[in-house]
Amino acid sequence: MSVVSTPTTLKPADLAIDNQEVRRIRNDFPILSQQVNDRELVYLDSGATSQNPLSVIEAEQEFYEQRNAAVHRGAHTLAVAATDVYEDARETVARFVGAASNEIVWTANATEGLNLLTYSFSNASAGRGGEPARRFALNPGDEIVVTELEHHANLIPWQELAFRTGAVLRYIPVDDDGGLKMDEAASIINPATKIVSFTHASNVLGSITPVAELTELAHKHGALVVLDGCQSVPHMPVDVKVLDVDFLVFSGHKMLGPTGIGVLYGKAELLDSMPPFLTGGSMITKVTMDGAEYLPSPTRFEAGTQQVSQAAALAVAVNYLVETGMERVADWEAQLGQRLVSGLQQINGISVLGPPAGIERIGLAAFDVDGVHAHDVGQFLDDRGIAVRVGHHCAQPLHRRLGLTASTRASTYLYNTTDDVDFLLEAVAGVRPFFGVK
């Protein structure tokens, strides 16, 4: 099966995406043609889950129709074909982020990738993995650093690791606008720091973190850097070698792919030294009744039956993005994000979380409507066919720091037009009058 998928709308890479092209792109996404509450669907929740082009849907179906078999287990024709699809997909995703194929580990999602790291480090702290794994061991007094921006998936696993090992969890705070206090970061990241884990782009604020500066601070003290790329990899060019991070996680369902598959990137020398997280079949070289020996990465982290059809479909999604052009996608979404924030700032009673218009951001904005709960805002918008996210967006500490319990979040992707943004803005302007808030 080919894992190459070309959008039916492709334009030369040197031409910027515009509304006309986006309207053609939308034809590749069957779900976007439906109506919701008798209104044309305006999907502005891609930060939670993106939609799938038809080619991605067909790729998963085609695998089950033509190549369904266990990978890395059989010598028969179907097993070989399935294994080829599985490993070809790994190579496709590796190229997408500038990695080698043996540096890409399939996971169920980014959350599992982060838990894989924390449990592997926990195992190393308990003495598993021998001398090569000692670099990952944590002891009482060692420090783990995160930021106040983090999604719960990049906070709770580190809390649990600190609990299991006696390490201390510290965080870089944000200011009143949600910006990282980088002047404090230089002292928080210190010789006791063993791990620094942070988001590339905030799933609440849309802001982009200073990866280079944080990575330099961490590496100066010999700390490992873990980057949450869930809101960056789908929306902008990301090259792990340029960023020089040690680990990166992202999820397929946020980048036109299916649910049930995510990616952990790790530098090869690190992955090969880490003890496994899940254990069982497929990831071993030798098993006796007293113990086991494990394969190198990435196989040592892929115990049990793998996500083969999902990997095949994710590769097609990646090629869709590649053929569209990630620079073009990033530029278009940056325009949408600025239009979104600028428009929201002009509506009475609306407070935008994060940086104001004119400051770099992805195509995402969360906002508070004075006097109206976010869940009521979401219902009001849904009645008009607009899909947004409401709640704390799995970032309670950040909301608490900003004085909120919940917000409304609109997030764009390559299939959104400026008309989608304008329709949202018009609807949001009607929220407070509808609820009788003056």
List the single range of 11-20, 302-311, 323-332, 425-434 with lowest mean pLDDT. Answer: 11-20
At 147-195, the pLDDT tens digits run: 999 999 999 999 999 999 999 999 999 999 999 999 999 999 999 999 9
Instruction: Report the CATH number of the 61-322 domain.
Output: 3.40.640.10
CA distance 358 to 279: 49
Parse the chain into domains and list their residue ranges: 19-54+325-431, 61-322
Specify whether 394 is catalytic: yes
- At 423, the pLDDT band (50, 70, 90 cuts) reads very high
Q: Between 3.90.1150.10, 3.40.50.1100, 3.20.20.70, 3.90.470.20, what CATH number should domain 19-54+325-431 receive?
A: 3.90.1150.10
- At 428, the pLDDT band (50, 70, 90 cuts) reads very high
What pLDDT was estimated at residue 7?
53
Closest to 151 measured CA to CA, from 198, 116, 196: 198
Q: Whole-model pTM?
A: 0.95
Residue of 100, 188, 357, 394 marked active site: 394
Does the pLDDT value for residue 4 go beyond 50? Answer: no
Q: What is the dihedral of CA 151, 182, 188, 407, to 10 degrees?
A: -20
CA distance 238 to 353: 25
Pairing relationship of beta strands 247-251 and 262-266 according to DSSP bridges? antiparallel
Closest to 335 measured CA to CA, from 250, 251, 212, 422: 422
Does the pLDDT value for residue 2 go beyond 70? Answer: no
For 41, the token pair is 């669907």
- At 3, the pLDDT band (50, 70, 90 cuts) reads very low
At 253-269, the pLDDT tens digits run: 999 999 999 999 999 99
What pLDDT was estimated at residue 6?
46
At 110-157, the pLDDT tens digits run: 999 999 999 999 999 999 999 999 999 999 999 999 999 999 999 999
Q: Do domains 19-54+325-431 and 61-322 have the same CATH topology?
A: no
Does the pLDDT value for residue 307 go beyond 90? Answer: yes
At 96-108, the pLDDT tens digits run: 999 999 999 999 9
Does the pLDDT value for residue 11 go beyond 90? Answer: no
List the single range of 10-24, 261-275, 410-424 with lowest mean pLDDT. Answer: 10-24
What pLDDT was estimated at residue 73?
83
What pLDDT was estimated at residue 172?
98
What percent of the chain has a predicted confidence (pLDDT) above 90? 95
